[in-house]
């Protein structure tokens, strides 16, 4: 596919309010697919390509969603073949002792702070990267997340045990909390730091930056925080998305185990 058409698609998605990450993902998938089967193709050809690529279920569904956008806009039809079935696995439960052990292998205070904001405040890695000093309300222990997923603003908490360290850190920055000469730190930087720290800690659980956000929610439901409040802090559109964390609640099970 000519780069001109890819650029046009990118501009259209931008006009619809899609994030840079989403636009990059859409353009990359469309380019990859059309390079293999051309700009015009049948639904059967596309389904056969997906089978040939042997995509994992989540990746398959992403490709299907992207190409469904393409076929509706440019080819005049909607895909009818079904999504792949994704196993309903629960988020990895990371204990506080495991988290602090991993954190102990991160020497840079900047990286420690960014990773801590994911685990203790429920921020997405992209949101941490774009966080600005004026988004922090120390008096009310609140962080404003500006234009999070879905271009929505929301608020989340700053736990008391993080407050002192965050104030200390913010006293040394002017705009972005995690600045670089290009603007702000990249997601990959945090991902690589976290991966390296997990390997050094010898913890057998393998988890990602997004799992830290999951555990923010798990910790809240274990403390009895109302699930609707958790939904608001995470920025979920639907309560059903947040309710999965109720299945991860360990407090009741632990109490039961200690009674038998």
Q: What is the mean pLDDT of the chain?
A: 90
Across 2-28, average pLDDT: 87
- Taking 60 as the threshold, does the pLDDT of residue 185 lie above it? yes
How much is the pLDDT for 258? 67
pLDDT tier at 251, thresholds 50, 70, 90 = low
Residues 6 or more apart from 199 whose CB is under 8 A from it?
none
CA dihedral 83→89→95→99, nearest 10 degrees, is: -30
The confidence band for 252, taking pLDDT boundaries of 50, 70 and 90, is low
Q: Which residue has the tokens 């619809």?
A: 16
Cα(115)–Cα(99) distance, rounded to whole angstroms? Answer: 10
Question: Who contacts 153 (Cβ-Cβ below 8 Å, separation ≥6)?
Answer: 144, 145, 146, 147
pTM of the model: 0.76
What's the residue count for the chain?
260
pLDDT (tens digit per residue) in 43-61: 999 999 999 999 989 899 9
Query: Residue 63: its pLDDT value, please?
Result: 95
Express each pLDDT in 195-241 by its tens digit. 999 999 999 888 899 999 999 999 999 888 999 999 999 999 899 88
Contact between 121 and 133 (Cβ < 8 Å): no
CB 93 within 8 A of CB 215: yes
> Which residue has 């995470």 as its token pair?
234
In this predicted structure, what is the pLDDT of residue 259?
Answer: 59
Retrieve residue 247's tokens: 């299945």
Residue 194 CB partners (closer than 8 Å, separation 6+): 102, 106, 115, 208, 209, 212
CATH superfamily of 96-257: Intergrase catalytic core (1.10.443.10)
Residue in the block written with tokens 């920025």: 235
Helix 209-222 / helix 227-234 crossing angle, nearest 10 deg = 160
133 contact partners, CB below 8 Å, separation of at least 6:
170, 173, 174, 175, 176, 177
Lowest mean pLDDT among 74-88, 123-137, 190-204: 74-88
Angle at 235 between CA 89 and CA 57, to 5 degrees: 30
The pLDDT score that the predictor gives to residue 92 is: 79
Task: Evaluate if residue 256 carries a pLDDT over 70.
Answer: no
Average pLDDT over residues 124-134: 94
Residue 260 has pLDDT above 60, yes or no: no
Q: Given this model, what pLDDT does residue 90 score?
A: 76
Examine the pLDDT at 250 and tell me if it is beyond 80: no
| Phi-psi group of 143: left, alpha or beta (phi > 0 → left; psi -120 to 50 → alpha; rest → beta) | beta
pLDDT band at 17 (very low <50, low <70, confident <90, very high): confident
| Cα–Cα nearest to 123, from 216, 259, 253, 255 | 216
Residue 85's pLDDT band (cuts 50, 70, 90):
confident
Residue 255 scores a pLDDT above 80:
no
Q: Is there a contact between 143 and 158 (Cβ–Cβ < 8 Å)?
A: yes
In the chain, domain spans: 3-75, 96-257
How far apart, in whole angstroms, are the C-alpha atoms of residue 232 and residue 153? 10
Phi/psi zone of residue 183: left (φ > 0), alpha (ψ -120 to 50 degrees), beta? left
Q: Are 232 and 259 in contact (CB under 8 A)?
A: no
């Amino acid at each position: 596919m000519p780069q001109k058409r890819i650029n046009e698609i990118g501009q259209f998605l931008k006009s619809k309010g899609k994030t840079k990450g989403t636009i990059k993902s859409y353009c990359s998938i469309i380019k990859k697919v059309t390079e293999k089967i051309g700009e015009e193709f049948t639904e059967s050809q596309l389904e056969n390509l997906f089978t040939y690529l042997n995509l994992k279920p989540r990746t398959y569904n992403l490709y299907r969603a992207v190409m469904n956008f393409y076929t509706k806009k440019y080819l005049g039809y909607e895909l009818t073949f079904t999504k792949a079935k994704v196993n309903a696995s629960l988020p990895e439960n990371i204990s506080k002792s495991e988290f602090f052990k991993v954190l102990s292998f991160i020497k840079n205070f900047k990286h420690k702070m960014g990773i801590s904001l994911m685990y203790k405040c429920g921020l997405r890695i992209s949101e941490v990267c774009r966080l600005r000093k004026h988004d922090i309300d120390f008096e009310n222990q609140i962080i404003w997340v500006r234009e999070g997923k879905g271009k929505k603003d929301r608020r989340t908490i700053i736990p008391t045990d993080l407050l002192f360290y965050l104030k200390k850190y913010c006293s040394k920055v002017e705009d972005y909390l995690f600045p670089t000469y290009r603007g702000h730190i990249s997601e990959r930087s945090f991902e690589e730091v976290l991966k390296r720290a997990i390997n050094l800690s010898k913890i057998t659980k393998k988890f990602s930056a997004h799992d830290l956000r999951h555990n923010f929610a798990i910790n809240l439901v274990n403390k009895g925080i109302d699930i609707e409040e958790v939904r608001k802090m995470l920025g979920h559109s639907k309560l059903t998305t947040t309710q999965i964390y109720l299945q991860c609640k360990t407090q009741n099970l632990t109490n039961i185990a200690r009674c038998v």
